[in-house]
Chain A
Amino acid sequence: MITLLWAVATLLLVMSAACLWRADVGPTIQDRILAGNVVGTKTLVVLVLLAVIGGHAFLMDVAIVYGLLNFVITIAATRLIETGRLGGETPS
């Protein structure tokens, strides 16, 4: 069972490396942000896998903070692209 979890973690790291290719060549800035978001989600899953494998419960807190930061950063960058600023009302 532990072997399966290690194999899943390794496979997720390989897939993250593949997603970095899209972040490198992606033609628009949104493609790069999307690829970074996918890498962040996979990192979150790998952190939970490491927490379950090694019994380090604090890694789950790290994973929660990582997921929240990933979400907030992506939404903020999207808003900056779309409206050109970070605060205030969205112009209609």
Chain B
Amino acid sequence: MSGLVLVQQIASVALIVVGVVFLLGGTVGLIRLPDLYCRAHAVGKCDSAGAGSLLLGLMLHGGLAVDDLRILVLVLLILLSSPTTAHALARAAHNTRPASGLPGREGQR
């Protein structure tokens, strides 16, 4: 195994492990945090960072190939869609406030 392949494998495993740790953090945040704003905050960041890092690790895993372009498209899609989704959900909860039962800016608990 040449040096370059070794560096590539180590980087791939490191990115995959970092991605799993971020996704685990996002899951714990989704389950444990007290209201929707906190949960959207945890999920919007940990999901994009975790899935993006894991997919980049998978891209490095097999060497360079045509399939890597599709994984790159997926990474860009996740980086765009996950924070947008979290923001849209939090805004919907904030704009339908009496029905959603969440505090607004003036109603801090």
Contact pattern, B 70-85, Cβ under 8 Å of A = 1, otherwise 0 = 1101100110011011
> B78, A67: Cβ atoms under 8 Å?
yes
What's the dominant secondary structure at chain A's contact region? helix
For chain B, residues 40 to 98, give those with C-beta under 8 angstroms from any C-beta of chain A: 40, 43, 47, 51, 54-55, 58, 61-62, 67, 70-71, 73-74, 77-78, 81-82, 84-86, 88-93, 95-96
Q: Please determine whether B86 and A75 come into contact, CB atoms closer than 8 angstroms.
A: no
A6 at the interface (CB under 8 A from B): no
Interface centre among A41, A51, A67, A79 (most CB of B within 10 A): A41
Tell me, in angstroms, the Cα distance from A68 to B76 when the chains sit together.
11
Task: Tell me, in angstroms, the Cα distance from A78 to B100 when the chains sit together.
Answer: 13
Partner of A27, one of B24, B73, B85, B101: B101
Could you tell me the distance in whole angstroms from the C-beta of B3 to the nearest C-beta in chain A? 18
Interface residues as binary, A4-33 with B (CB distance below 8 Å gives 1, 0 otherwise) = 110010011001001101100001111101
Check A31–B77 contact: CB distance below 8 A.
no
Q: How large is the interface on B (under 10, 10 to 19, 20 to 34, 35 or more residues)?
A: 35 or more
Given contact pairs A45-B23, A60-B71, enumerate 7 new A-B contacts (beta carbons under 8 Å).
A22-B39, A28-B101, A42-B51, A44-B74, A74-B89, A78-B88, A79-B92
* 19 chain-A/chain-B pairs, Cβ below 8 angstroms: A4-B13, A12-B20, A15-B27, A27-B101, A28-B102, A34-B40, A34-B43, A37-B85, A44-B51, A49-B58, A67-B77, A67-B78, A70-B81, A74-B85, A78-B88, A78-B92, A79-B88, A82-B91, A82-B96
